[in-house]
Structure 1
Amino acid sequence: MTIDDCGLRSRVVMVGITLNGNACEAEEGATIISAAAANEVYIPSLCSHPDLPPFKDLPLAAQVFHGETCYANEPLSEDESANASNPQSSIVNRQSEGCGLCVVEVAGLPEPVRACQTPVTAGMSIQTESEALKELRRTNLMQILARHPHACLTCAQREGCSLEDCSTNVPKEERCCPKFHNCELRKVAEYVGVKEQTPRYRPAGLPVLNEEPLFARDFNLCIDCARCVRVCNQVRGVEALGIVHNAGRLIVGSVAPTLTDSGCRFCGACVEVCPTGCLTDKSTQTGDREHWLLPCVHTCPAGLDVPGYIRAVAAGDFKAAAALVWEKLPLANMLSHICFHLCEAECRRSEIDDPLAICALKRFALEAGDGAFLEDAVKPPETGKRVAVVGAGPAGLAAACFLRFKGHAVTVFEAAQSPGGMPALSIPKYRLPQAVLDKDLAVIRNLGVEIKTGCRLADGAAMADLLGKGHDAVLISVGLPSSKRIAVEGSHLERVFWGLEFLSGAKAGQTFDLGQQIVVVGGGNVAIDVAMTALRLSGGSVRLFCLESREEMPAHAHEIETAEAEGIEINSQWGPAAILDEQGRVSGVEFRRCLAVFDQQRNFAPTFDEQQRMTVAADTVILAVGQAPPQGIPGEQDGVFLAGDIVGGQLSAIHAIASGRAAAERIDRHLGGDGVVSLRPSDQASPKAWIGREEGFAPRARVPLPCAAPEQRRTDFREIERTYSAEQAMAEAKRCLQCDLRLMIAEPAAPPQRWLELNHSNVEQVPAVEGVFILTGPDKKPTVIKGMENIQAGLLERLESATEAGFFLWEEDRMYTKRESELIQQHLEQYGELPGGGDDELDDLF
C-alpha cells in the first residue's frame, strides 16, 4: 500500500520485470536496487540505503564545517557544468550519481544506469552481474579508495589482525580504522574487488574530532556518500549536517563548528548509517548493541520501555505513557515513588549534561494517565489453573498480576493485616504515602486477584502444602521480614532498636522516646530511612555511622544527599565496638576505625584498627545493618517456586518485581503456558522517524523536580518529592535523545555469503583437506568455528550427530589452527561471545 497526497491509502501496483534472466515482480516506481533486494538479488552500493532517499535528491548547503574549518558551497566550473550527467539533480558534478557501485544494465539502454535512482517499469529486463559491470564497479571503487585508507583491504594477514602492530610496517594513517572487522566498506570492497592499480592512499590530514559528547568524527575516513546528511535532514528533520561543492568535490560536515551549535539532537542516526569509521560511537561494547544503546531499558530490572513512555509524555499523550509503564510494571504507582532509578545513572543524555528525570516522568505519566491501563488491557480466557502466592510484597503481587493476565486464578496469602510487604509496613510516608499504594492494590484486585490478609502460615512446609489443597502451583515470596542481628555489647539495653522493627513501629503510629542524640548504625537504604525517621520523631541530632567508605555505602547516592540536606551527619568507616550504658540506659557508642569491609575475594570480612577508637554520646542507638529471612523456607521443587528477596540479589522493590515476573514465567510454563507474561494494554503505534529541529536542544537543562524544603520537611512526614506539572513534564521529556529510534533503522543489504545447506549431498562435495568450517542456524549466526585436518570428516561427524546447525561454510587452509583462531577472534569482536554463546574455550583460545 502507498499513501497519496491526501493521506489516503492506494493500491500497490506490481509489474513484471526480468532480473538476470529470471522473471519476477516488483512494485511499480520502486528503484531497481530496492526491487532487486525484494527479490533477493544483491546489488553493491555504499551511498544507497533502504531507509534513505536517493543521493541525487539531496540539496546543497551554503556552508559546512570540519571543526573550525569552513567550506563554502562554490558554483560549478564551466568544465563541471559541461560534464554534469544529471542536470535535474540538486548535486551536479562528477560525484552527482553517488558511489557508482550499483550500476546495472537495462535492455534497450546504451549505457549502464544507477540502480539506486532508476525506477523499474513494466517489462524491464535488468542484468546485475555482467563482466563489464564488475569491471566498471571496480573502477568506481578505485576512485573511492584513492581518498580513503585501504592498505588493510589487500593485506594477506588482515583476518584477525589487531590493527595495532603491523607486520608489513604500513604507516598507521594508511591503515584501516578499528571498525575494519565489521566495516560495510570492507564487505562491499571484498565483494566488488580491489583493482591492483588502486593508488596508494595519501593522508589528507583532515580533522579528527573527539571533544564532543557521544560521537567521534574522523573526516579522513569520509567517502562523501552523504548518508549521514540524508538521514539527519530528510529522515530525522534535524538539519544539523550538510554537504557542499567545494574545490571540485563534495564535502560533508556540520552546519556550524560544533554539533551542539549545529542543532544536533544526538540521536545517533548518522552513526548508524555511516558505512565507514568516519562517524563512530565514543563508547561501545561488544555483544548486544541494544543493551548499550538503550541503557535506560536494560538497566531497568523490569525492562520498561523508557524511551516509549517518555516520548508519549513529550507528545502530551499521557494515557499512552501510563499504558506503556503498566505493560511491564505492576505496582507502578508505588515504584514511581520509591524506585532508586538506576536507569538515570546510565542515561546517554548524561554525557551531554544531566540525565533525564526518568522516574519523575514515570510518576507524572501514571498520575496524569490514571485509569488508562484497565481501560485498554486485553484479558485472556480463563485457564482453569489455580496458583497460591505466599507473601503480598512486591514480588508476590507482581507475579500475581502477570499470572492473572495469563488467565490463571491467583490467591495471595499475607500474614500482615494489610498487603504490600515491606513498602507498606516500613517505607516511611515521606517516600510512599498509603494512598499511592492503595491505587496499585485496587488495580490488582480489579484484575481478579484474591488477597487474603491475616493468613499466617506456620512454616515453609505449610506453605508448600498449599500445592495439595486445590492449587496447581505455589509461589513463596515472603521477603526478608526482620532485621539482621549482630553481636555487639550493649545491644540489649533500653533505647536500642533494630532498623526494620523501628520503621514498622513508626509507620504504625507507635510513639518513641528517642531523646535528642540519636546514633544510627548501618550504610544501606534502610539505615537512611531510619535516620530520617528518627529525625522527624525526635527533632534532635542524628548521626549515622557505617563500616563502608562513602563510595562503598550500599545506600543510593540520591538518598544520602537527601539525608544530608536535612542535617543528618554521615560518618563512614566506623564500626560499633560497644554500646555504652548508664544505669541500664544507652549513654553512648564506642566505635573503632574500619580499614576494609571485604577481603580480596569480596567476601564480607571487615578488619579494624583497634588503636583508633572514638566514643560518641547517644540517647538512642538504632542498628540497621541488614535484613534476615524467615527460617525453614523450602527450595524450589516441582510445583513450588520462590521469588523476591529470599532468593538473594539486590534488596529493592524493582528487583523484587523483576524476580516476581521471572517466577511467573516459570509458573506459566509449568502450567502449560508459553511463559510469555505481560500486562497487555492496547497496541501502541510505532514511533515516527521524524523528530524535527529544535534550537538549543543540547544545552537544555534538566527541569528541577519540585521538592519540599529540607528545613520544613524534617519536622513531619510530608512527601519530599512532588510531581511535575504537565508543562514541566513535557519540557523534561523533550530532552530525551530517543536512542531507540536508531535501532529502527534498517541494515543495508550485505554481500551474499555462500552458505550451503548442511546435508549429505553438499558435504560430500567438500574435499577431505585441511581447513576450517563454520556452522550456523537459520539466522546465519555462527554456532561452531572449527579447524580440522579433514574438514569433510568433521562435517560428516556433525551431520551424523544430529546437530541443530542448518548451514555451513568451509575454506581450505593448511594452517587451520591459526585460521580458526582468526575467525573466532572476528566473531568475538562482532558478537562479544564465542560461537554458540559459550566461554568455556576462551582460555584455550588465548
Structure 2
Amino acid sequence: MAEERKLILKLGQKITDRIGHKVTVDDPEYWGLACVITDEMAEVALAMKVRKPASAQEIAKKCKKPLKRTEELLQEMSVIGLLEYNWENADHHKQYILPMFVPGCAEFMNMNKEQVEEHPEIARFFERMSRLPLEKVTPMVPLGGAGVGMHVIPVEKAIPTEQKSVSVEHISHWVQKYKGKYAVGACSCRRSRRIQGEGCGHLEDDMCIGVGDMADYLVETGKGRYIDEVEVMEILQRAEDNGLVHQITNIDGEDKIFAICNCCVCSCYALRTSQLFNTPNLSRSAYIARVDANNCVACGQCVEYCPSGAAKLGQKLCTKEGPVVYPKQELPDAVKWGPEKWNENYRDDNQINCYDTGTSPCKTNCPAHIAVQGYIKMASQGRYLDALKLIKKENPFPAVCGSICNRRCEQACTRGEIDQAVAIDEVKKFIAMQELNAETRYIPPMVNQIGKMYPQKVAVIGAGPAGMSCAFFLAQKGYPVTVFEKHRHPGGMLTHGIPGFRLEKDVVDAEIEVLREMGVEFKCGVEVGKDVTLAELRAQDYKAFYIAIGCQGGRKAGVPGEEAVGVLTGVEFLHMVNTDETTGLTGRTIVVGGGNVAVDVARSAVRTGSSDVSMYCLEDKDSMPAAADEVEEAEGEGITVNHGWGPKEILTADGKVTGIVFKKCISVFDADGRFCPQYDENEFKTVECENVLMSIGQSIIWGNLLEGSKVELGRGNGAVADSLTYQTAEPDIFVGGDVYTGPKFAIDAIAAGKEAAVSIHRFVHEGQSLTIGRNRREFVELDKKKLDIPSDSYDNSARQVPGHQSGIDAKTTFRDTRLTFTEEQVKAETARCLGCGATVVDENRCIGCGVCTTKCEFDAIHLSRELPDASRMMKSEDKMKAILPYAAKRQIKIMRNKK
C-alpha cells in the first residue's frame, strides 16, 4: 500500500465540496490529486484560499518559496488543471485561483488529454466529485441552481418573442459580452466518460467554449485554441443540429460566466445531477416546453432529441373512458428524497419513446418507425419535399418501398377499425416519385459534431437494402463509405430478385444515385473473400465492416428428381429474368411455394412464355404468407393457387421434368408454432408439367468471406450477432438484413442498416459504448379497441385506389403498369387520416433547453417562460443563502404531508 501523503490529504480536505466529510486516502479527493500533484505543489496550493484570487507574489510570500520557483509551480499546476487564473483586478495583473473540485480542478484536470490518458483514475475522479457532494443537497436546491454548477440556457430561436425574457437567457448576450475573447476545448465530461469506456457517441473535441480570461487560460495551458465569433456560432449551431444542450457556468454571480458548454445528457455530469437525482431545479432554464396537440402529428423528432425524457409519444384520440391521463415525474418539493427516488439508469430510461398507453399504430408497426402521421400531414398540405425529407430520416429508399413494401403500417392503421386503412403506401409512393427527378431529389446534408468528414473508413459488403441503408446513414454522419458488391450493379435483391413489374430498375437506380451524391463509393464486380479479403481491407485502413450480403441462394425440397432439367430455384429464375427479360420458358410451369417471392416467380413465368402456371403451397388461403393483393394480381393473370400440398417427387424422363407429385399437407406448424409440416401419406396429386420452380426458401452463400474471422454462424447458417448492436464475435464486423434474420422484407433490412450505422459510429471512436444512452426504438401501439371516435369527427370518404395504365395487358410486360396517385387522390386520401398520436411533455421532467422546438416541423411545440426564478444567478459562496430558506420551507411541507 502506498504511503499516505499528508499534504495531499490536507489539500483534498481544503478543496472538497462535501460538507462535513473527513477525507481519507480512499476518497477521490485524495487519489484524484495524488497521481499528479507533488507535495511541493500541495504546499503552494495550501497557501491559497479556495476561489480567492491571488498574485504570484502574494502566494510566494505565504508559501515561503522564492518567487521564481513559485511561478514555475503555479504554471505547472495550471497546466495540470489544479489551478486557474485570470486578470480581473485593477492593475490587470495575473492572479491565480484554487477552485473547488467541481466545477473546477476535477474538470480542468480532465481537459489535459495526455494527463488523463496516462492517469485514467483522473476520469473517475471527475465522475465521483461531480456526484458525491450533491447526493444530499440536490433536493434542497431552489430554482436557478443557487450557484451550484451549470445552468441550461435555451436555444435562442426557441424563446418566444412575445414573452418577456432577460438578457442572461440569450446565447447572443453571452457571446457579445465576451466579444473577441473565445477559445474552444474538449468536453471534460465526454472525455471522462470515454476514458471509462462509457462514451455515448457524442464526441469530446471542440465542444466547450471558454470566454473572457478563461479563453486565455485554455490556450496558454494547452487545453484549447482561440476561435472567432464566426466559429463560436458554427459550434453552437452544430450543437443544436445534433440535439445538444447549451449550458453556462453558474457559480460567479449575476451576469458572469467563464464557459458555454454544449452538452449531452448521457455524458454531461452537470445534466446528470438533475436526471440521476430527479431534481430538475438544478439544471432547468426558465422555460417549459408545451405541445399544441392540434398541430402535433407524433412524428417523434422532439422525443428523439429530448435530453431529459420529458417528451414522449402518446395519443390524441379519446378512449371510451375519456382522455388519457399521463403520469408525471414526482418532484422533491414536499417529499422526503433519497436513493429510492433516484434513477441510476437515467441514460437509457431517457430514451424511452412513448407512454405505456401507446401511440400511433402506423409508426409503431413500421420496422423503421417512420413518421407516417407526419408525412401524411405534410402531403395534405402540399409539402411534398418536406414529406420526403421526413421519410428519409428513417428510410433512405421511399420510392423502392412505395413499390414493394408489405404495408405493416396499413395493416395496423386505426382507420381500418372504421372502414378501410389509409392508403399510406400509395401516398408515400407519390411523395417518393420526386426521387426519380434529379431536380427534386433530396440529398441529405452531412450532420455531425465536427462539421467535416470523419477520417475512419467503413466497408459495407453487399449493396442490398440493408447494406445501402447503413451506407446512407454513415455517409450522412460524415464517414467515407465504400460498398463492395459482387454483381455488376448495386441493389441486391432489389435489382436482381424483384421483377420490374413490381419494382422498376430506374426507381432503384435513382435512389442509389442519392447515395453516390452523398459520397458513397460503390465497387461493383468485387467479391470480398475472393477478389479481396477482410484482412486486406483492414490493411487498407478500413476500421469497421458491415456485412449484408442477403440470402442469395435458393432452396430445394430434397425430393427425388430435383436435378432434372427444368427444375430451378425461384431465386435462380428471378436472377435470370432480371438479368435478361427476354429469358424464355416454354411449356407448363409449377411454382412450389406460397410467399411473395413465389408469387413473383409465378408472374414472371407467365411473362417469359410459360403456357400454364400454377402455384402449390402448404398453407391454406388464410395463412398463405404472400400478400393478399399480390395473390389477387397473380390470379388475375391466370395463375391458379392450390393450397395444402407439398412436393413428394419430381417425375422425369430422359433427365427432363415431366411432372410433379404432391402429397396432402394436414398441418404446417407444431403446437409451439414451429415450422413442422405433417402430411397425409395416402393422399397424392400428380400434375404434368415441363418446369418446376422451387420457391420454398432462400439460403446464404458465404463463400470465403468469413475466412479467418471469429464470426459465428447459427440457425439457418446466419451470422450470430448482438440483437441491439449487430456486432459479431469479431468486434469490427457487424451484420444485418437477411444474413442475420433470415429472409424478411426490405423495410426490415433498411431498419437494421440504420441501427448498424449507429453502432459503427460508436465503435470506430475509442471508449464509446455501443449501448449506453442508445434509443432502443421501442414503441407501443395504442389500444384501438378502447377508442371513442365520433362519426362526425373524421372525413368519411372512401379509400382511394390507384389506377393502371390503359391499353396494356399486364401479364405481357415486365413494366410496372400501376399508376401513382394523382395529386387530387393524395389530398382526398390524406384527409382520411385520424391523426392518432401526439407528443406529451411532462413539465416535471422538462429542463427548458428548447432542443425539441428546433426539430419540430409542424409548429407544435414551443417554450413557455413559466419559471423566471430559474434565471437567477448566484455566487457559489452565497449558495447557502438560497438553499437554507428553501430547504426549511420544503421540510415544513414534508412534515405536513406526514400528518
User: Where on the TM-score scale, by shorter chain, does this alignment land: which range?
Assistant: 0.5 to 0.7
Q: How many angstroms apart in 1 are the aligned matches of 2:530 and 2:629?
A: 38
| From 801, 823, 828, the counterpart of 1:731 | 828
Q: Shift of the alpha carbon at 1:562?
A: 1.9
Q: Shift of the alpha carbon at 1:294?
A: 1.1
Q: Shift of the alpha carbon at 1:556?
A: 2.0
CA contact (8 A) 1:347 1:356 kept: yes
| From 288, 299, 317, the counterpart of 1:268 | 317
Match of 1:10 in 2: 162
Q: How many angstroms apart in 2 are the aligned matches of 1:272 and 1:748?
A: 24
What is the identity percentage for the equivalent residue pairs of Structure 1 and Structure 2?
33
Match of 2:199 in 1: none
Specify whether residues 382 and 706 from structure 1 end up closer, same or farther in structure 2 by C-alpha distance, changes over 3 A only: same
Which amino acid in the other structure matches residue 728 of structure 1?
Q
SS of match in other structure, 2:392: helix
Residue 698 of structure 2 corresponds to residue 627 of structure 1: yes
| From 632, 648, 656, the counterpart of 2:749 | 656
Q: How many angstroms apart in 2 are the aligned matches of 1:677 and 1:464?
A: 30
Q: How many angstroms apart in 2 are the aligned matches of 1:664 and 1:490?
A: 45
| From 393, 400, 415, the counterpart of 1:327 | 393
CA contact (8 A) 1:713 1:720 kept: yes
Specify whether residues 724 and 542 from structure 1 end up closer, same or farther in structure 2 by C-alpha distance, changes over 3 A only: same
Which amino acid in the other structure matches residue 731 of structure 2?
D
Specify whether residues 746 and 465 from structure 1 end up closer, same or farther in structure 2 by C-alpha distance, changes over 3 A only: same
Q: How many angstroms apart in 2 are the aligned matches of 1:703 and 1:314?
A: 14
Q: How many angstroms apart in 2 are the aligned matches of 1:275 and 1:643?
A: 38
Q: How many angstroms apart in 2 are the aligned matches of 1:275 and 1:539?
A: 58
Residue 556 of structure 2 corresponds to residue 485 of structure 1: yes
| From 697, 707, 714, the counterpart of 2:804 | 707
Q: Shift of the alpha carbon at 1:707?
A: 2.8
CA contact (8 A) 1:495 1:514 kept: no
SS of match in other structure, 2:563: coil
| Deviant stretches of 4+, over 6 Å | 234-237, 270-273, 673-678, 693-696, 747-750
Unaligned stretches of 5+ residues in structure 1: 1-7, 15-230, 238-265, 278-285, 679-692, 751-808, 811-846
Q: How many angstroms apart in 1 are the aligned matches of 2:457 and 2:699?
A: 30
Match of 1:561 in 2: 632
Q: How many angstroms apart in 2 are the aligned matches of 1:433 and 1:546?
A: 27
Q: Shift of the alpha carbon at 1:520?
A: 0.4
Match of 2:431 in 1: 365
CA contact (8 A) 1:391 1:478 kept: yes
- Pairs aligned (count): 477
CA contact (8 A) 2:467 2:548 kept: yes
| From 410, 414, 427, the counterpart of 1:348 | 414
Q: Shift of the alpha carbon at 1:526?
A: 1.0
Which amino acid in the other structure matches residue 700 of structure 2?
P
Q: How many angstroms apart in 2 are the aligned matches of 1:276 and 1:524?
A: 43
Q: How many angstroms apart in 2 are the aligned matches of 1:534 and 1:574?
A: 20
CA contact (8 A) 2:589 2:610 kept: no
Residue 458 of structure 2 corresponds to residue 395 of structure 1: no
Q: Shift of the alpha carbon at 1:560?
A: 1.6
Which amino acid in the other structure matches residue 569 of structure 1?
T
SS of match in other structure, 1:550: coil
Which amino acid in the other structure matches residue 758 of structure 2?
E
Specify whether residues 236 and 506 from structure 1 end up closer, same or farther in structure 2 by C-alpha distance, changes over 3 A only: closer
Match of 1:409 in 2: 480
- Of stretches 597-606 and 329-338 in structure 1, the one that deviates more from structure 2 is 597-606
CA contact (8 A) 1:402 1:677 kept: no
Q: How many angstroms apart in 2 are the aligned matches of 1:703 and 1:566?
A: 23
Which amino acid in the other structure matches residue 303 of structure 1?
H
SS of match in other structure, 2:809: helix
| From 614, 619, 623, the counterpart of 1:543 | 614
SS of match in other structure, 2:459: strand
CA contact (8 A) 1:466 1:474 kept: no
Which amino acid in the other structure matches residue 609 of structure 1?
D
Q: How many angstroms apart in 1 are the aligned matches of 2:675 and 2:165?
A: 70
Residue 724 of structure 2 corresponds to residue 638 of structure 1: no
CA contact (8 A) 1:496 1:622 kept: yes
Query: Alpha-carbon deviations, 1:472-530, whole Å to 9, x = none?
Result: 11111111111123311111112212111101101111655533421100111111100
CA contact (8 A) 1:322 1:372 kept: no
Query: Alpha-carbon deviations, 1:330-350, whole Å to 9, x = none?
Result: 122212211111110000010
Q: Shift of the alpha carbon at 1:647?
A: 0.5
Unaligned stretches of 5+ residues in structure 2: 1-159, 167-290, 297-314, 327-351, 713-727, 776-789, 846-893
CA contact (8 A) 1:578 1:589 kept: yes
Query: Alpha-carbon deviations, 1:344-369, whole Å to 9, x = none?
Result: 00000101111111111111112247
Specify whether residues 289 and 561 from structure 1 end up closer, same or farther in structure 2 by C-alpha distance, changes over 3 A only: farther
Q: Shift of the alpha carbon at 1:376?
A: 6.1
Specify whether residues 666 and 402 from structure 1 end up closer, same or farther in structure 2 by C-alpha distance, changes over 3 A only: same
| From 584, 596, 599, the counterpart of 1:525 | 596
SS of match in other structure, 1:475: strand
Q: How many angstroms apart in 1 are the aligned matches of 2:692 and 2:484?
A: 35
SS of match in other structure, 1:405: helix
Q: Shift of the alpha carbon at 1:532?
A: 0.4
CA contact (8 A) 1:391 1:415 kept: yes
Q: Shift of the alpha carbon at 1:531?
A: 0.3
SS of match in other structure, 1:551: coil
| TM-score computed with the length of structure 1 as normaliser | 0.52
Q: Shift of the alpha carbon at 1:709?
A: 7.2
Q: How many angstroms apart in 2 are the aligned matches of 1:445 and 1:618?
A: 46
Specify whether residues 697 and 604 from structure 1 end up closer, same or farther in structure 2 by C-alpha distance, changes over 3 A only: closer
Q: How many angstroms apart in 1 are the aligned matches of 2:560 and 2:370?
A: 46
CA contact (8 A) 2:551 2:743 kept: no
Q: Equivalences for 1:444-463 in 2 at 5 Å? A: 444-458=515-529, 462-463=533-534
Which amino acid in the other structure matches residue 821 of structure 2?
Y
Match of 2:370 in 1: 304
Q: How many angstroms apart in 1 are the aligned matches of 2:799 and 2:698?
A: 36
Which amino acid in the other structure matches residue 713 of structure 1?
A
Match of 1:134 in 2: none
Q: Shift of the alpha carbon at 1:272?
A: 9.4
Specify whether residues 749 and 353 from structure 1 end up closer, same or farther in structure 2 by C-alpha distance, changes over 3 A only: farther
Q: How many angstroms apart in 1 are the aligned matches of 2:549 and 2:444?
A: 32
CA contact (8 A) 2:581 2:814 kept: no
CA contact (8 A) 1:484 1:626 kept: yes
Q: How many angstroms apart in 1 are the aligned matches of 2:819 and 2:804?
A: 6
Match of 1:166 in 2: none
Specify whether residues 343 and 291 from structure 1 end up closer, same or farther in structure 2 by C-alpha distance, changes over 3 A only: farther
Specify whether residues 711 and 517 from structure 1 end up closer, same or farther in structure 2 by C-alpha distance, changes over 3 A only: farther
What is the alpha-carbon root mean square deviation over aligned residues? 3.6
Specify whether residues 11 and 297 from structure 1 end up closer, same or farther in structure 2 by C-alpha distance, changes over 3 A only: closer
Residue 627 of structure 2 corresponds to residue 552 of structure 1: no
| From 676, 681, 688, the counterpart of 1:617 | 688
Q: Which has the higher helix share?
A: 2
Query: Alpha-carbon deviations, 1:202-243, whole Å to 9, x = none?
Result: xxxxxxxxxxxxxxxxxxxxxxxxxxxxx99x9699xxxxxx
CA contact (8 A) 2:445 2:476 kept: no
CA contact (8 A) 1:428 1:503 kept: yes
CA contact (8 A) 2:663 2:681 kept: yes
| TM-score computed with the length of structure 2 as normaliser | 0.49
Which amino acid in the other structure matches residue 716 of structure 1?
T
CA contact (8 A) 1:395 1:660 kept: yes
Which amino acid in the other structure matches residue 546 of structure 1?
C
Q: How many angstroms apart in 1 are the aligned matches of 2:662 and 2:353?
A: 47
Q: Shift of the alpha carbon at 1:586?
A: 1.7
Which amino acid in the other structure matches residue 345 of structure 1?
Q
Which amino acid in the other structure matches residue 323 of structure 2?
C
